Amino acid sequence: MKIGGLAVAVLILLGIGTVGLIYTRTDVPDPNALKTDQIATIYYADGKTVLDRVGSTNRTDVPLAKVPDYVRNAVLAAENRSFYTDPGISPTGIARAALNNVKGGDLQGGSTITQQYVKNQFTNGDRTFSRKFKELFVTVKLDKQYSKDQILEWYLNTIYFGRGAYGIEAASQVYFGRPVSKLSVAQGAVLASSIRSPALYDPQSHPDAAKARWKFVLDGMVSMGKLSQADETKQKYPPVRKKTSGTADDVRKTWVGHVEDQVLDELDQAGFSQARLNQEGLRVVTTIDKRAQDAAVNAVQETFADQKSPDPAKQLRQALVAVQPQTGNVLAYWGGPNGLGTDYAQSWRQAGSAFKPYVLATALTQTLDPETPDDKKISVYKTYDGSSPQTFNGTEVANSEGGQCNPCSVMDAMRRSVNTVFYRMGIDAGPANVADTAHKMGIPAERPNGQKTLQEKDGTTQAGISIGQYEVRTIDQAQGYGVFAAGGVLHPAHFVAKVVDSTGKVVYQHEDKASRALDPKVANDVTYSMKPVAAASEDPLADGRESASKTGTQQYLDTGGNSDAWMVGFTPKVSSAVWVGTDKPQAMTTVQGNQVYGRTLPGLTWQRFMNNFLTGTPEDELTDEVEVNPSFRPAPQVTATRAEPSPTPEPTRTRHRKPRPTRSPTPQPTTEPTPTSTPGEPTQTPSPTPKPTRTRTGPPLPPGSP
């Protein structure tokens, strides 16, 4: 049997006698020996407090004859299209593993179906070269002693399909509620598409990625000659059953289920499938801080206790994510109350004004470039024409309630969320450059289905990016603002700290892949510009604790109602983002009939979380200096042209500090932006209705403020 150049070389080096001895003593594993009854334990960051347990014994074997040919072919199209003609091993995969072993890198390799079966049954997926070596002998012997049909039958009865299901019969019941013999072509392709990564291709958790993989499987069947092009065209992605809990205490039906999904996704990408977790009974230590998580859950539940709408379509949904800026540790995560439902922290929604800090970061970065023309260089004290409305390249943009601010400093524009200033700034900096900055700060360049972010289908980025036209996720915003808190360094958000086996040995340790996203001076000045926002929005932290933040409110089309509302902000210890919206973008209101704005329900949730989590911790002050173009001087105070009450100063702080120079103009009323409704452009509006009653440390806002 031909086994490839590398395998031959290995055999020669070992010597014929040694090879013969090893080959003789190598046993082919029994498919019934696979252990699936182990329980993997997931812990909070302290490594002692149990967060969740993962495990299942769901497995039912079936003879290959009961698996329709088109289901078998779907599996082959997904995992090993040359299964019936190849020698059972992948020489290139072994060679790659050997090379990476020498380099000290990850041991990855393209495995055949036979190798996958051997790995799961015999070597427990250990990521070592010795595992690849064992696979070589077992695979050769297995391929010699048994038929391809027998190997495929064993494989189909033992491979993990996700959702606690081992084997294709159990998977058929879990995903479609029917035996494998009754599956359709489309359904068989769904199951086949999940094998590569059950967590990352789950139809409920990652629908876009699942559908893309499903199409890959169908295309493979066509290329193999097992499905006609005409029949592929007729296929529609089938309905899939919702997830059900496989844990004894049913915690998946709570917020814990969303954390579990993120942990399993991350482990899957690191080479630790749920099948391996179950087989080896591994212990997973997460980054979730119990105090932070409790604060997050309480903040959401307290704020929305009186917001239970009888109409599910109008029910307000929330997401809250908190990360540690210096490490990327996800400290708290709320994707919704039902872990078997939608994870709203992973939902893509328009950012509104909460995207404006990325615009300022781009403009300041260009200011540090000596090649940038002087008239394009800025400072947080530079003034713009903030009058409203204005027309930019044929697009009319307006400020909230026609608010005027001319001349308007960047500091004023950030605090008052003046649309016309940031729209002009974004055009000057270049919309594509703003997108590039956001990507460097952790906003993914593409979604799981391959769709590019922060751009149109033709690859261009519109100027509306400056006021939040494009969609982001709550976790992205927490991570992105964390870059400002970390002095311009991106520490990618992650959920897993380490994995420990039953003997206490650490088999996986997270490695921080930090990168410089912004110049420290730029991070400093954007932070400085956002310091007044929380107080101006009536969401200051307790006891005068400093924060930097930004609200965002997205109007739904031209309805006058808001579809998305944000509050994102940070201290040196924690960066957190809160989103409020509905299942599908629409004009939303509270059950009391009030509009929802960034400073209302999201702001109150953010404030409660931050206060509860930070209470009793040392207070770290934010920057008091401007570092980019510090020679600029604050612009003189300008009174808004429309009639409104005199602004109320920021609340008196109880801490004792050294006097600081006043660098920003006297606070003015905050306004949420409202660009005139233009096709393709985002719109935001101020709150015309009273906010919920709150206990605050700051003063009331003047009428007309959001």
pLDDT band for position 243 (50/70/90)?
confident
How many Å is the maximal CA-CA distance in the chain? Answer: 96
Spatial separation of the C-alpha atoms in residues 207 and 240, rounded to whole Å:
10
Q: Comparing 143 with 29, which gets the higher pLDDT?
A: 143
Mean pLDDT score, 661-682: 34
Both tokens assigned to 634: 């604050």
CB 87 within 8 A of CB 148: no
Contacts of 146 by beta carbon, 8 Å cutoff, 6+ apart: 28
pLDDT band for position 7 (50/70/90)?
low
Tokens 């360049």 -> residue: 445
Amino acid at 260: E
| Model confidence pLDDT, tens digit, residues 513-550 | 999 999 999 999 999 999 999 999 999 999 999 999 99
**Over 80: is that where the pLDDT of 682 sits?**
no
Tell me whether residue 631 is one of the annotated catalytic residues.
Answer: no
CB 474 within 8 A of CB 320: yes
pLDDT band for position 158 (50/70/90)?
confident
Spatial separation of the C-alpha atoms in residues 492 and 482, rounded to whole Å:
10
Write the CA distances from 594 to 8, 72, 303, 307, integer angstroms: 74, 55, 15, 11
Domains of the chain: 5-33+57-245 (1.10.3810.10), 296-614 (3.40.710.10)
Mean pLDDT score, 677-705: 34
**Mapping DSSP to helix (H, G, I), strand (E, B) and coil, where does residue 293 land?**
helix
Spatial separation of the C-alpha atoms in residues 672 and 533, rounded to whole Å:
11
How many other β-carbons are positioned within 10 Å of the β-carbon of residue 638? 17
**Mapping DSSP to helix (H, G, I), strand (E, B) and coil, where does residue 19 land?**
helix
**Mapping DSSP to helix (H, G, I), strand (E, B) and coil, where does residue 485 land?**
helix
Mean pLDDT score, 14-35: 58
Residue 289 confidence (pLDDT): 98
Mean pLDDT score, 565-591: 97
Q: Which residues of 152-168 are buried (b: 16+ CB within 10 A; e: fewer)?
A: bbbbbbbbbbbbbbbbb
Both tokens assigned to 221: 């069947």
DSSP code at position 675: P
CB 657 within 8 A of CB 676: no
Spatial separation of the C-alpha atoms in residues 535 and 405, rounded to whole Å:
20
CB 663 within 8 A of CB 693: no
**What share of the chain in percent tops pLDDT 70?**
77
Pairing state between β 50-54 and 40-43: antiparallel
Helix (H) or strand (E) holding 553: strand 548-555
Q: Comparing 672 with 225, which gets the higher pLDDT?
A: 225
Helix (H) or strand (E) holding 78: helix 69-79
Mean pLDDT score, 393-418: 91
How many other β-carbons are positioned within 10 Å of the β-carbon of residue 653? 14
> Catalytic pick from 111, 205, 353, 547?
353
Helices (H), 177-317: 185-194, 207-223, 229-234, 256-269, 274-280, 290-303
Residue whose C-alpha is closest to residue 620's, from 544, 507, 511: 544
Output the pTM of the full model: 0.75
Mean pLDDT score, 87-104: 52
Write the CA distances from 525 to 66, 625, 663, integer angstroms: 66, 8, 12
Lowest mean pLDDT among 101-110, 213-222, 401-410, 518-527: 101-110
CA angle 228, 234, 239 (to 5 degrees): 125
> Catalytic pick from 79, 135, 260, 280?
79
Tell me whether residue 82 is one of the annotated catalytic residues.
Answer: no
> Can you give the C-alpha Rg of the chain in angstroms?
28
How many other β-carbons are positioned within 10 Å of the β-carbon of residue 4? 18
| Model confidence pLDDT, tens digit, residues 500-517 | 988 889 999 999 999 999
**Mapping DSSP to helix (H, G, I), strand (E, B) and coil, where does residue 213 land?**
helix
Spatial separation of the C-alpha atoms in residues 362 and 192, rounded to whole Å:
44
